[in-house]
Amino acid sequence: MKKRSLLLWVLPLSAFAQQKNLVQYVNPLIGTQRMGHTFPGATVPFGMVQLSPDTDTLPYEMNGKYNPDVYKYCAGYQYDDKTIVGFSHTHFSGTGHSDLGDFLVMPTKGELQLNPGIATDTKTGFRSAFSHANEKAEAGYYKVQLDDDNITAELTATTRTGFHQYSFPKTNDAHIIFDLMHGIYNYDDKNVWTFVRVENDTLVTGYRQTNGWARTRTVYFAMTFSKPFKEYGCKDFSKKQVYRGFWRKFDQSKNFPDLAGKQLRMFFNFDTEEGEKIKLKLALSSVSTEGALLNLRTEIPHWDFERTKAAAQASWNTELSKITVEAAESEKQNFYTALYHAFLGPTVYMDVDRRYRGLDQNIHTASNFTNYTTFSLWDTYRALHPFFNLVQPARNGDMINSMLAHYDQSVLKMLPIWSHYNNDNWCMSGYHSVSVIADALVKGNKSFDAAHALEACVATATRKNYEGLDQYINKGYIPDEKLGTSASTTLEYAYDDWCIAQIARLQGRSDVNATFLKRSANFNNVYDAGTGFMRARREDGRFKQEFDPLSTHGQGFIEGNSWNYSFFVPHDPGALINLMGGKKKFSARLDTLFTMYLPDKYFAETEDITRDGIIGNYVHGNEPAHHVAYLYNFAGQPAKTQQRVRMILKNQYKPAPDGLGGNDDCGQMSAWYLFSTLGFYPVSPGSAEYQLGSPAINKASIQLENGNTFRIEAIGQSDKNVYVQKVLLNGKQLTQPVISHEDISKGGTLTFYMSAKPNK
């Protein structure tokens, strides 16, 4: 296998100038309000460092109970907030839970304050007021005026290093606060330990360990300043310990270079002239401070902020240029911001020397692949990883190799469920790594060991002490008594088992194929023909008596109700249609889903669902029903797929801070938009077929990694002309609303002829 370069590939500025500048259409502020939960800061594609402002410090717990307000801060930034507490180096994009927020930096002047204070009175701490009028967010760059101290903050990044530039007024009491306590979804005892060495008057190294969503996470850093600090200090906010050793021999609060504790905040003091820029570089590593320093010196060996910014934006332009579209300006902003969101993660997780800390807490070397983390697989298997198979297949292969390394290092011998930073946080249900693997294999990706992948898939799917698998294997469903999400988890396992069957089929393993094909039919076991819904089933075989198909609580489903989950048989829509009485009844049932009214009470206590993400009772703001609009195709009603898809695109995606109707969930919402805007969608990842919908662009050109180009044309497309009259593939008319991955891989042109009237 060819080894790819470790270093960030930087286009020469002359080449960048010759390229079409697609960065101009990216707006990282889209989705930063309410349910979007994206972050607007500086990063490069798939970057380990995602440097961004955090706007509050709400705790996860208050008075011994969960604080629901913290949910708004999954990504650290809320557009409605009026203060910034600082700039931290790690963030998730659009997740429904959180962690990270490592190593917060904040420039201040005047009286030194080591507490962030409260948002209603910035004088109580080191936070600062800011205005969106003085804020700029671009791909690879962020800038904001910190009003309290008249300091301009600018951020950019490389893969593993954040680059800060702070323009100060003239003062002899400039400070840079370094907060090692700060974290997203913070709570007492989240910080396990912190260690800091002040190596000299410009270099600081250290690490911190946290116990959060990832319960065993160690992050090392190396931080260097462009100007020597004149003095520094530290305050430990830890609770007093009875045993404190003999470190009391030193005054550790000021100018002491060897620091350790659970809750540390540091400060570095400077004298500055008017407009003087103090620059700071901070690199991360999972291996060691030596690794962090190597990352820093390799990726940014200079102090030229503009050069690093230009390189970051050139790397974004290279990735964004994989697809060029002709569309209205607002649609271009939607499209390229969605493409930007799709390329934020998963994130690189190794040093420039290819070393990383594994699931076994040992140091490993990714000798023939780039190691990745941040696998939100319950979300991203649906459209994001299939989208990578279209435009990033080599990178997706590396992601699968990363999953297989996770399996090899796991003492449980399981593929990742939801993993980040050499941990599995076990969030959500199913074992959807198998879907990612199957989809790559059926689409011709040969960059990983297929036999080893099948072994890992089977081992994961037969781990009987994992979330009801023992009962699922023995009974064909998970009893309601055993698991609160018994019905939805049964449905997800059945789909995943079909994926394993596809992997086995491709390798000629008829025994494994037969076993998992049989298991993939288990969706039948939670379908109640009497009501026409998927339902939780009791251990004695009876369906659970208390049943409300609109409720998201106590019904056996996770983050959704029976109405939405009853359509979750993506691997066999034909069988589902037969269960529900045939194509006519099935289509009418889909109509009801999209047109009925879901009262607020049914999602009032479900954080991941809000009115913004609901159309009728179709919940687009959460993932389980993302394929549903395309099911009309299977019922012989493709015009209804076309109408529903265009309605969803207009309703759920807008170029505004509240422009996303739900969590972006590490790019899944954006990937749905990208596929659907281009005119096709992978209803069943693990299949080589895409269902056709209604393209919302005039033209698109996809540059494939094999050197071919696939073009899409939508003749007559408009907000009114959403219906497809006919489709030509390389001049030949299609007779079904389906296109194969092989058709796309060969290159060519897919031409839609659009009209205001459905083609019956």
Q: What's the rounded Cα separation, in Å, for the pair 133 and 279? A: 24
The residue among 3 and 157 whose pLDDT is bigger is: 157
pLDDT in tens, 349-402: 999 999 999 999 999 999 999 999 999 999 999 999 999 999 999 999 999 999
Q: What's the rounded Cα separation, in Å, for the pair 379 and 384? A: 8
Q: What's the rounded Cα separation, in Å, for the pair 300 and 310? A: 13
Mean pLDDT of 675-684: 98
Domains of the chain plus CATH, in order, are: 13-272+280-320 (2.70.98.10), 323-755 (3.30.2080.10)
Coil/strand/helix, residue 689 = strand
Picking from 55-64, 313-322, 542-551, 622-631, which range would have the lowest pLDDT averaged per residue? Answer: 55-64
Q: How confident is the model at residue 6 (pLDDT cuts 50, 70, 90)?
A: very low
Long-range contacts of 505-509 (CB under 8 A, 24+ apart): 506/441, 506/442, 506/450, 507/450, 507/451, 507/454, 509/454
Q: How confident is the model at residue 9 (pLDDT cuts 50, 70, 90)?
A: very low
The residue among 300 and 598 whose pLDDT is bigger is: 300
Coil/strand/helix, residue 334 = helix
Q: What pLDDT was estimated at residue 3?
A: 37
Residue type, 618: Y
b (16+ CB within 10 A) / e for 653-663: bbbbbbbbbbb
Q: What's the rounded Cα separation, in Å, for the pair 352 and 295? A: 6
β-bridge mates for residue 729, sequence order: 732, 750
Q: What pLDDT was estimated at residue 247?
A: 86
Place of tokens 């549903």: 628
pLDDT in tens, 191-248: 999 999 999 999 999 999 999 999 999 999 999 999 999 999 999 999 887 787 888 8
Q: What's the rounded Cα separation, in Å, for the pair 448 and 506? A: 14
Q: How many CB atoms lie within 10 A of CB 517?
A: 17
Q: What is the CA radius of gyration of the chain?
A: 26
Q: How confident is the model at residue 58 (pLDDT cuts 50, 70, 90)?
A: confident
- What is the percent of the chain with per-residue pLDDT over 90, rounded to a whole number? 88
- Residue 14, judged by CB atoms within 10 A of its CB (0-12, 13-18, 19+), counts as exposed
User: Which DSSP letter does residue 72 get?
Assistant: G
Q: What pLDDT was estimated at residue 59?
A: 87
Coil/strand/helix, residue 356 = strand
* Residue 284 near residue 219 (C-beta atoms within 8 A): yes
The residues near 133 (Cβ < 8 Å, ≥ 6 apart) are: none
pLDDT in tens, 283-303: 999 999 999 999 999 999 999
* Residue 189 near residue 250 (C-beta atoms within 8 A): no
Cα distances (angstroms) measured from residue 51 to each of 41, 246, 284: 5, 37, 11
β-bridge mates for residue 128, sequence order: 84
The residue among 188 and 539 whose pLDDT is bigger is: 539
Please give the mean pLDDT across all residues of the chain.
94
Q: What pLDDT was estimated at residue 19?
A: 53
**Tokens (6 digits) for 690:** 């895409």
**Tokens (6 digits) for 385:** 């990883």
Q: What is the pTM of this model?
A: 0.95
Q: What's the rounded Cα separation, in Å, for the pair 661 and 647? A: 13
Q: What pLDDT was estimated at residue 1?
A: 37
Mean pLDDT of 481-505: 98
Q: What pLDDT was estimated at residue 36?
A: 65
